[in-house]
Amino acid sequence: MYYLKMQNRKLTLENIFKCNNCEKGFIKKSELIKHRIRPTWKERFWCSLKSDQNKHLSIHTGKMVYTGEKQFQCSVCGKSFSTKNILTNHIRMHTGGKPFPCKHCPRAFSEKQSLVRHLRIHIGEKPYRCTYCEIVFAHKPGLVIHQRVHTGEKPFSCYHCDKSFTEKQYLIKHQNVHTGERPFNCNHCGESFGWKHSLVRHQKMHPVDKP
């Protein structure tokens, strides 16, 4: 009886307390206040789709990402992006702009995050620790690759055979066996090789020119 009473109340009063952004209705005013102050990610996403009053919120909560909308277009190549920041970083690929210089060495970077990762080399910071052993890494990709030694994960599979590899670079080198591609050329005789170490071994056969 109590449940039925509450259901009837919901049907008759659900639109009394409405959100100004998304028009969602609530039975209690306290629920509306909670929705405004601390909305769930679903509520924030819905508000972003319904409201034109806060464009920053719509981008932050994933409107562009979820709908696939890419309204920021590169004037150089025509490629489009979901946010202006991503477009700005992309344009630096065309212009060569690197506004984030390292204060310890001559290197500079197109993105701030790339500078942050680079600075770890100078200060010796290694915030990524392996969960299986005591080895630490300055960059997360290095940790991910290392942990595959413990887990045995080999996510890069060959399309031509049943072999798989821990890193993409190993897969690319392996596929040269199937495709016959030999991208490493000797600058002395022009002979080509599928593996770099094969080229290095071959070049040792050539006499070194003495000054």
Low-confidence ranges of the chain (pLDDT < 70): 1-16, 20-23, 30, 32-69, 208-211
Tokens matching residue 109: 């970077």
- What does the block give as tokens for 202? 């071959």
Q: What per-residue confidence (pLDDT) applies to 139? A: 87
DSSP 8-state class, residue 97: -
How many beta carbons lie within 10 A of that of residue 94, not counting itself? 11
Strand partners, 175: none
pLDDT recorded at residue 33: 66
Alpha helix (H) ranges present in 125-167? 140-151
Domain boundaries, the chain: 154-205
pTM of the model: 0.47
Instruction: Pull the structure tokens for residue 105.
Output: 């060495």
Please give the distance of CA 84 from its chain centroid, rounded to a whole number: 16
Give the model confidence (pLDDT) of 16-53 as tens digits: 677 766 667 777 776 766 665 554 544 554 454 444 44
CB atoms within 10 A of CB 22: 18
SS3 content of the chain, % helix, strand, coil (to 5): 45, 10, 40
Which superfamily, per CATH, for 154-205? Classic Zinc Finger (3.30.160.60)
